[in-house]
Chains A and B, each alone.
Chain A
Amino acid sequence: MQPVSICPSLSQFYYVNAPARDKGHLADLCTWPGAALQTTIFGTMASRLIVDETRCSGCRACEVACSDVHENAFSPVLARLRVLKRDAERIDRPIVCRFCADAPCVAGCPSEALSQRSDGVLQLDAARCESCGQCVLACPHGALRMHPTTGQPLVCDLCGGKPVCVAACVTGALGLEERE
């Protein structure tokens, strides 16, 4: 694996010595010891995902729902979002695509397979994608993962505006704010 180039302010949150098995597991190495709980608003355009970590029960129903509707399978590694959990430190942290303006993953894609719509949502041209994993490495938030068999990035499409992860979240840790 190439040395991981990530936002320096986030580097402290990764286990530097951990054996990195494959690019798809980059986010597994993420940790956030002692970080303060926070509410963060992700997304910039028409609709935004709202994560309120103080309400997350860590159940991962969001991951299950996501893989169910996108892949017809129950498999957290196929989900477009994940819940980072560290039991001993009381951390349950949903990691979702932030739909960044000037998204680093899009910029990092050497084959122009990833693009961003005007509303911020990412699109993958599967035919062009060469499964190189640069987008996964480019994401500073650990929000992108690769499909374990195709090697292509699992891209959140906000379920066309009605995200099933939000519907599956009973505690209100995940929310959707629609703006117009």
Chain B
Amino acid sequence: MTVNGLAGSVLRADLSQGRVRCEPTELDLVRAFLGGRGLNVAGLLRELPAGVAPLSPEAPLFVGVGPLVGTSFPGGARFNITARSPQTGILGDSNAGGFFGPELRFAGIDQLVITGKAVHPVFLWIDDDRVEFKDARGLWGMDTVQVTTAIQQELGSCDVQVAVIGPAAENGVLFSGVFANLSRPAARTGMGTVMASKNLKAIAVRGTGEIRVADPGHFRECIARLNERILAHPEYEIRTRLGTTSLIKSLQVIGGLPTRHFQSGLFEAADNVSGETIEQRYKVRSKACFACNIPCSRYLVADDPRFPGLHFEGPEYEPLAGFSARVGNADLPLALYAIDRCNRLGMDAISVTEVIAWVMELGQRGMLASAEADGLDLEFGNGKTILALVEKIAGRDGFGNVLADGVRAAAHRLGRGQEIAMEVKGLELFQADVRAMKGYALGNAVASRGADHLRSEPWFEFSGDHEEAIRRYGIPEAADRLAWKGKGKLVAHFEEMAAVSDALGVCKNTYNNMEVLDWGETAELLVATTGWPWTGEEVCRVGERIVNAERMLNARWGITRRDDTLPRRFLDEPAGPPGSPSAGSIVELSMMLEEYYEARGWDEATGLPTAAKLRELGLED
């Protein structure tokens, strides 16, 4: 057997037939798409029949794990879960760390393809090469923590890794995620809802196999260099202490918090809810994903009489800012409790906090009466309302039913509030005011799964490093967050990096935000892994190919330039408040888009890849 760093197999499970089939991983596809997100989009392009609804049994669901997952690459832990999104109708794709991805690889699996619908709830139990559909009728209705524990007990081992859905997914909430290690969600775009539509409550895996790379000695050298670079990075210390929660303070400094539904970039209670405050009051211990040397997560125990026994791993910045600044809540324990509820119920905290904040702004503007919303007090920051809505949404209960399809659908259903719905292509926007960061604004407008920062994460625009900006993009302003110039090239570059990162199965904190490997070094590592020749240019091409393939897929569902836009607020309303470091800024989107399509080699009028570009990437049909 050739040693190439791959686990070796694609496992196909047909839930309707109750059959599984194992195929060798296609090396040509790995060469072109690497793995993870790349292999998944290749699978969707090839296997999703035209006209199949996202929640129909025929729609396939892909779980991809890249070639560095399970190795000593620090944070090579991530899995991607991909299907047509029930929430947006376009590409659905979400990614999580923890320990589930590596375990799949140790069981010999590079990709899992799930189709069909079981006659009753089941969970898939992969015990190395033994695969079973197990009865999950007794598990249906359990929250993510309960079901994880119950499955580990049933299987007799806490070493079994489990990815589960919660009650929200079962109830058809369209932004339900897939949760590994209790609080590591692949939350975006409703992949949990797709699992529920197949009557699949969980995927459990134990692998006792091994991953072998082509040149272990060289691989070790590459990783040793990488580790040195990570440990010496200026952000290392803050990342190990606070992880992404440090962003509460950093975004407050530039006036970029999503306060009260993006009505202000400053949050007066930022200190109350900051990562530093969590560290001081509640942090018990640092936590990390598989083999990662940046333990950026934490166990916390929040001692608050209102929420007895509140303890969990987390949170990340996104849910934290969502349940504080975005909904105008200064009560940290309440925010943490709401995050824990979202995790247990199995929902995307970004989408949940958007619909809550949107409702509160409707209330503030007199566009929605309390009586229409189950009598809830719609004032920003009302803790009772926040907690009540989390439960109502998850249960599709009362007014929660209106919100459970996402903010775009809710606005449509109520017939109002479209102009303040903070979404792109049907997916809710993350926790930052993009008027304070133009590259992120463009990134959100063009991201292949709808509003999203993790499709590009162009951190470089915060650097202010003009010389480097000229070297990379030929335009000094690419390094200035409030400038629009140069952002087309910047975002295209970072989209490729993000795609490669998701395809390899590594974490964007290191690969994108800390830029610990350039294209050439990534190629060197891939040579050591696969034993195949790779150049930096080829690695970059894989990223470009993934971005283009996702665009083609979205084009099938009618996506064009017209959809590459942002909520009106960012285009028309100057950022506030007056005096903040981003005050007065608006997003000059059309200029950036022109630059972007040009950098991509896409048709400027349609925003779609040209035939020449597709040929160049080997993507012609």
Contact = CB atoms under 8 A, between A and B. Distances in A.
Given A73-B212, A75-B208, A170-B231, A60 B156 contact: no
A75 B291 contact: no
B383 interface: no
Contacts of B70: 74
Contacts of B182: 87-88
Interface in B158-217: 158-159, 181-182, 208-213, 216
B285 interface: yes
Contact of B158 (A68, A72, A84, A148): A84
Given A59-B289, A88-B182, A75 B156 contact: no
Contacts of B212: 72-74
A74 to B, nearest CB: 4
B130 to A, nearest CB: 11
B211 A75 contact: yes
B54 interface: no
B286 A61 contact: no
Given A59-B289, A73-B210, A90 B299 contact: yes
B240 to A, nearest CB: 8
A41 to B, nearest CB: 20
Contacts of A86: 158
A76 B157 CA distance: 15
A129 interface: no
A88 B311 CA distance: 9
Contact of A67 (B145, B159, B210): B210
A158 interface: no
Contacts of B571: none
Nearest to A76: B106
Interface string B288-312: 1111110100010000000000010
Contacts of B291: 59-61, 64
Contacts of B106: 75-77
B512 interface: no
B148 interface: yes
Interface in A112-128: none
A65 B313 CA distance: 25
B71 A170 contact: no
Contacts of A56: 285
Given A21-B156, A88-B149, A170-B293, A74 B71 contact: yes
Given A87-B182, A88-B148, A170-B231, A74 B284 contact: no
A25 interface: yes
Contacts of A29: 156-157
Contacts of A92: 285, 287
A21 B231 CA distance: 40
A59 B288 contact: yes
B208 A148 contact: yes
Contacts of A88: 145, 148-149, 182
Interface residues of B, number: 40
Contacts of A44: none
Contacts, number: 104
Interface in B56-108: 70-72, 74, 99, 106
Contacts of B240: 170
A18 interface: yes
A131 interface: no
Nearest to A73: B210
Contacts of A58: 287-288
B581 to A, nearest CB: 34
A141 interface: no
B290 A59 contact: yes
Contacts of A85: 99, 158-159
B233 interface: no
Contacts of B159: 25, 28, 85
Interface string A159-178: 00000000010110000000
Given A75-B208, A87-B313, A148-B208, A18 B285 contact: no
A55 B156 contact: no
A79 B153 CA distance: 24
B220 interface: yes
A75 B210 contact: yes
Contacts of B293: 59, 61, 168, 170
Given A21-B156, A67-B210, A74-B70, A61 B292 contact: yes
A19 B156 contact: yes
Nearest to B162: A87
B71 A64 contact: yes
16 contacts: A25-B157, A31-B158, A67-B210, A68-B220, A73-B210, A74-B71, A74-B210, A75-B211, A77-B106, A84-B158, A87-B182, A88-B148, A90-B311, A148-B208, A168-B72, A170-B295
Given A68-B220, A75-B210, A88-B145, 20 more contacts: A21-B156, A55-B285, A57-B288, A58-B287, A59-B291, A60-B291, A61-B292, A64-B290, A67-B210, A73-B211, A74-B213, A77-B106, A78-B210, A86-B158, A87-B148, A88-B149, A88-B182, A90-B299, A90-B311, A171-B286
Interface of A: 15, 18-21, 25, 28-29, 31, 54-61, 64-65, 67-68, 71-78, 84-88, 90, 92, 148, 168, 170-171
User: What are the 5 closest A-B residue pairs judged by CB atoms, nearest first?
Assistant: A18-B156, A75-B210, A57-B295, A59-B288, A73-B210
Interface of B: 70-72, 74, 99, 106, 145, 148-149, 153, 156-159, 181-182, 208-213, 216, 220, 231, 240, 284-293, 295, 299, 311, 313
